[in-house]
């Protein structure tokens, strides 16, 4: 009897403890209600219109200048003539100054003939585009108003993976929609935006959220929602935001001088794989592997060479090739910065004077074909490049082109393809098919060796391992 009473008391105590513990856990979660109430008034809806020609057939021919029908058509219009129809787009933005400065995405307002900003009180104002930068997808707008609510800007460099974040925007035109999630990753590089170290989140972001703020639990803006990864066009758990530190650096340049200047080093880089790390004497994959150095570039003047691995740039660690472009881009033009490289297994610090990034014309390159000489242990047939092919590829001297490759050869397993140009094996530059055969014959077996190939206009390193 006594034991039964003790059991009942213990069960009751456990139940009470569980009930008391539940609110304590809930209290540790961020109060999104407060964050939304305090900040949604500074978030705006942005709509744009752009005139586009409607489809029409017209007559399909021109009338003579003196034809009497010309006056008739000038007055009443030609049947089926193309007419202008407005194209509309929708996005979000947020106010950063009480006199009407608004931040949003460049793709939201690009090519717009009219930009309308709708405030939280449903007031609509025509916005002036101060400027935009497509590389970072940042745009600055100005509306004529005063005493506007504003958002507080945070420090995106202090973000941590797992941190709670909140987004407010207009997905599908639904104004002031709030969604929450966590920071999934930092410093993401996307193929179209190599100069932005994106914040990856699992916050629900959909079309119309673009340009809206991403906020931390203190109500500070840490990013601008910019892109989603989706196979369907809708939210699938992966979204990307521009760090607010990057966005504000761009915005300040737009406001002060009307355009954005970025640092330029002048190298083509690639990731360091496990095999490439072993071939270069690294304990693990890290850094940015230099595949090519442009003539006359800051990198060439600093003494950087293909095959160097950039480990640090301006005293900032380069963890992968994706982390280098944003660091270089944010480096002030004209500054001289240290570059720590790994060359032949030894660390060396060089000094590079950073120049301004300019749009570069794309080179036209052609794949070579024909010829038949064995490369030895690589398992490929090669031939020397012609002078015309070197000129088209931008190669000063040397290089041999792959004209055939064995299916299971070391070259094929390393990812080398027909049409690739081999420029270097290890530290040896390849000037001819005969030199390639000689170098390959002297390579150690069972150990990864770096091989510099050029595929079209793009140089890249691969790791080749000859079988024992």
441 is catalytic: no
Q: What is the pLDDT of residue 225?
A: 94
**Residue of 92, 136, 170, 210 marked catalytic:** 210
- In a 13 Å sphere around the CA of 32, the CA atoms on its Cβ side amount to 15
> Mean of the pLDDT values across residues 337-342?
94
**Residue of 107, 120, 230, 432 marked catalytic:** 107
- Nearest-angstrom CA–CA distance, 223 and 211: 9
> Mean of the pLDDT values across residues 92-113?
93
Whether residue 54 has pLDDT greater than 60: no
Whether residue 246 has pLDDT greater than 80: yes
Residue 404's pLDDT band, with cuts at 50, 70 and 90, is confident
Residue 211's pLDDT band, with cuts at 50, 70 and 90, is very high
For 375, phi and psi rounded to 5 degrees? -95, 5
> Mean of the pLDDT values across residues 437-466?
84
321 is catalytic: no
Whether residue 375 has pLDDT greater than 80: no
Tokens 């060439």 -> residue: 300
Among the listed residues 438, 436, 434, 432, the one whose alpha carbon sits nearest the alpha carbon of residue 451? 436
**Residue of 89, 133, 136, 137 marked catalytic:** 137
Distance of CA 306 to the CA centre of its chain: 24
pLDDT, tens digit (0-9, with 9 covering 90-100), for 120-133: 899 999 999 999 99
Which residues does 364 contact at the CB level (< 8 Å), separation at least 6?
Answer: 392, 457
Pairing, β 220-228 against β 152-153:
parallel
pTM above 0.85, yes or no: no
- Nearest-angstrom CA–CA distance, 381 and 400: 10
Q: Which domains does the chain have, with CATH numbers?
A: 39-53+67-142 (2.40.10.120), 152-257 (2.40.10.10), 263-356 (2.30.42.10), 373-465 (2.30.42.10)
107 is catalytic: yes
- Nearest-angstrom CA–CA distance, 98 and 448: 60
Whether residue 55 has pLDDT greater than 60: no
């Amino acid at each position: 009897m006594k034991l039964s009473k003790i059991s009942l008391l213990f069960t009751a105590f456990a139940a009470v403890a569980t009930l008391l513990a539940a609110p304590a856990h809930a209290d540790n979660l961020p109060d999104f209600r407060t964050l939304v109430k305090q900040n949604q008034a500074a978030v705006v809806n942005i709509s744009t219109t752009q005139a586009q020609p409607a489809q029409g057939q017209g007559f399909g021919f021109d009338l003579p200048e003196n034809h009497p029908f010309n006056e008739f058509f000038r007055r009443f219009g030609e049947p089926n003539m193309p007419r202008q129809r407005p194209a509309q787009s929708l996005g979000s933005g947020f106010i950063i100054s009480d006199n009407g400065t608004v931040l949003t995405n460049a793709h939201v307002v690009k090519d717009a003939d009219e930009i309308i900003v709708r405030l939280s009180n449903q007031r609509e104002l025509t916005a002036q585009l101060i400027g935009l930068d497509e590389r970072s997808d940042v745009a600055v707008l100005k509306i004529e108003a005063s005493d506007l609510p504003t958002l507080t800007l945070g420090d995106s460099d202090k973000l941590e993976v797992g941190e709670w974040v909140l987004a407010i925007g207009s997905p599908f035109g639904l104004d002031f929609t709030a969604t929450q999630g966590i920071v999934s990753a930092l410093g993401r590089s996307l193929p179209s935006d190599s100069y932005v170290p994106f914040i990856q989140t699992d916050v629900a972001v959909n079309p119309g959220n673009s340009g809206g703020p991403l906020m931390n639990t203190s109500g500070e803006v840490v990013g601008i929602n910019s892109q989603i990864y989706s196979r369907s066009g809708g939210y699938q758990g992966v979204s990307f935001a521009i760090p607010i530190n990057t966005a504000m650096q761009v915005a300040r340049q737009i406001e002060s001088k009307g355009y954005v200047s970025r640092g330029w080093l002048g190298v083509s880089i690639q990731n360091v794989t496990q095999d490439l790390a072993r071939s270069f004497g690294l304990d693990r994959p890290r850094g940015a592997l230099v595949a090519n150095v442009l003539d006359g570039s800051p990198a060439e003047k600093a003494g950087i060479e293909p095959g160097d691995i950039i480990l640090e740039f301006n005293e900032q660690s380069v963890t992968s090739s994706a982390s280098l472009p944003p660091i270089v881009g944010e480096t002030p033009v004209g500054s001289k910065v240290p570059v720590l490289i790994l060359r032949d297994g030894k660390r060396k610090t060089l000094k590079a004077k950073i120049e301004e990034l300019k749009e570069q014309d794309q080179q036209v390159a052609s794949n070579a074909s024909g010829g038949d000489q064995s490369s030895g242990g690589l398992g490929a047939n090669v031939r020397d490049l012609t002078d015309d092919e070197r000129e088209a590829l931008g190669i000063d001297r040397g290089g041999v082109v792959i004209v055939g490759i064995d299916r299971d050869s070391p070259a094929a397993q390393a990812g080398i393809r027909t049409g690739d140009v081999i420029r270097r094996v290890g530290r040896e530059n390849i000037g001819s098919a005969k030199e390639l055969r000689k170098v390959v014959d002297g390579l150690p077996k069972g150990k990864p060796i770096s091989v510099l190939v050029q595929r079209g206009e793009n140089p890249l390193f691969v790791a080749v391992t000859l079988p024992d």
